[in-house]
Homo-oligomer: A and B are copies of this chain.
Amino acid sequence: MPTVILNDTSHDVWVDSATISPENFGMEAPPHAWSIRKQTLRGGRRDGVDLITVETGGLSFCVVPSRGMGLWKGAYRGRDLGWKSPVKDGPVNPAHVNLLSNGGLGWLDGFDELIVRCGLENNGSPYAETSPDGRQTLTGLHGKIANIPAHYVAVHVENNAPHAITIEGHVDESHLFGPAIRMTTKITIVPGSKSLTVRDEFTNLSDQPVEMQILYHCNFGPPYLEAGSRFVAPASVVVPRDARAVEGIGHYDVYGPPEPGFSEQVYFLDLQERDGKSLVMLRDAAGENAVALRVSKSQLPCFTLWKCTGGLNDGYVTGLEPATNYPNARPFEQTHGRVVTLKPGDSHVAEIGLEVLAGAQDVARIEQEIKTIQDQGTPRIEKGPVEPFAKVE
């Protein structure tokens, strides 16, 4: 399989900019045109950020090695995947993000991605602990991984049609006395298809067991999100996170229009599966366009729905968040056994399929697939926060 290494710090390999297309691999007349562009962005808070744009005719997306191999933006035939964050000058170089700002909410200073990983030492709410000698240790929202640049980045293209393209990246979250986890991500797309997969392997590089958490914050705004959009999922349990979420529990799966000042509502879900696979969807009001996520509970047992339907300028957005845990502060998750422990050398693999559904027929087909899973049982919708999902004050 032909490979172009764009960055390998251990061998001083660095490609500042490049355009890769079928011709580079001697592929004449591939069934679907595609191109990969590597840039190094300049100026503002993005100065020095490494960006890879993959175009495949229909589906396109950007990967940001500098921001932990997150998926920045995407589009399918002119319809944006992702959202309009109040961070308008991204992708932000992590050098300009102080994760401890604003009482541990500094992560938001760079938050503008379509898919951003939260972890690995922790994800979820920030929290403070006090050391025996009186130091306050603040652990910030959603961890560090999204703000660690990849030290290895490569593009692989399959020799044989349909010439699947894979962007590979390695990101280490590792330091003395700390966890030492390497994430090896492979983001794969088949030109001509309407889906991509993110396959991450988290390997414990240490000689001791290590604990980790991973959450995929998959964020969608218009046009998939609009008044009347629906979240469709084969839930077995739905739990409102707090009093604010309780207010909307009756219509947790329906979206309202942009409402300036809308305060976020968060729901914790247990999904049903069939053959070890689950599937959730966000579809527009007319049921004509949708995005779906395919996940496996053996890899990502928890699912969180984030509704943040404030004003269009304030980031009208919803987050579909498969994860190893719920995004409560880590100590709570630990108490409830929702932290992954890896033995030395062991790995945890997580895979997400992102699928674009174009046209009512496509949407109906996926809705039917979800219904088939849902048919195994009616969801229990809790009226208030309940343990072990949410912290009951």
Which residues of A line the B interface, CB within 8 A?
Answer: 7-10, 12-14, 16, 39, 41-48, 50, 65-66, 85-89, 93-96, 98-105, 108-109, 111, 125-129, 131, 133-138, 148-153, 172, 174-178, 180, 205-208, 258, 260-261, 308, 310-315, 329, 344
Beyond contacts A86-B176, A207-B260: 9 other A-B pairs, Cβ-Cβ < 8 A, are A10-B88, A43-B151, A44-B150, A44-B151, A88-B151, A103-B135, A108-B178, A109-B175, A208-B311
Decide: B178 and A7 in contact? CB cutoff 8 A: no
Provide 15 A-B residue pairs closer than 8 Å at the C-beta atoms, listed in order of the A residue.
A9-B43, A43-B65, A44-B149, A48-B48, A87-B172, A88-B151, A93-B95, A98-B100, A100-B100, A102-B137, A176-B308, A180-B314, A206-B314, A207-B312, A207-B314
A82 to B103 alpha-carbon distance, docked (Å): 34
The answer to whether A260 and B344 touch (CB under 8 A), given A136-B103, A174-B88, A178-B102, is yes
A211 to B175 alpha-carbon distance, docked (Å): 30
Chain B contacts of A86 at CB under 8 A? 174-176, 178, 180, 205-206
The answer to whether A89 and B313 touch (CB under 8 A), given A99-B98, A128-B136, A208-B261, is no
Chain B contacts of A174 at CB under 8 A? 86-88
Identical copies in the complex: 3
A150 to B42 alpha-carbon distance, docked (Å): 11
Decide: A103 and B180 in contact? CB cutoff 8 A: no
Report which of B14, B48, B98 forms a contact with A98, defined as CB distance below 8 A. Answer: B98
Decide: B103 and A101 in contact? CB cutoff 8 A: no
Chain B contacts of A133 at CB under 8 A? 125, 127-128, 329
A111 closest partner in B (C-beta): B176
Report which of B39, B125, B208 forms a contact with A260, defined as CB distance below 8 A. Answer: B208
Report which of B148, B310, B329 forms a contact with A45, defined as CB distance below 8 A. Answer: B148
Chain B contacts of A258 at CB under 8 A? 207
Chain B contacts of A88 at CB under 8 A? 10, 151, 172, 174, 205
Decide: B207 and A311 in contact? CB cutoff 8 A: yes
Decide: B175 and A111 in contact? CB cutoff 8 A: yes
Chain B contacts of A105 at CB under 8 A? 177
Chain B contacts of A176 at CB under 8 A? 85-87, 108, 111, 308, 314-315
Decide: A313 and B98 in contact? CB cutoff 8 A: no
A41 to B14 alpha-carbon distance, docked (Å): 9
Chain B contacts of A43 at CB under 8 A? 7-9, 13-14, 50, 65, 149-151, 153
Q: Within the complex, what minimum Cβ distance (angstroms) separates A252 from chain B?
A: 21
A87 to B181 alpha-carbon distance, docked (Å): 11
Report which of B41, B47, B260 forms a contact with A48, defined as CB distance below 8 A. Answer: B47
A101 to B174 alpha-carbon distance, docked (Å): 13
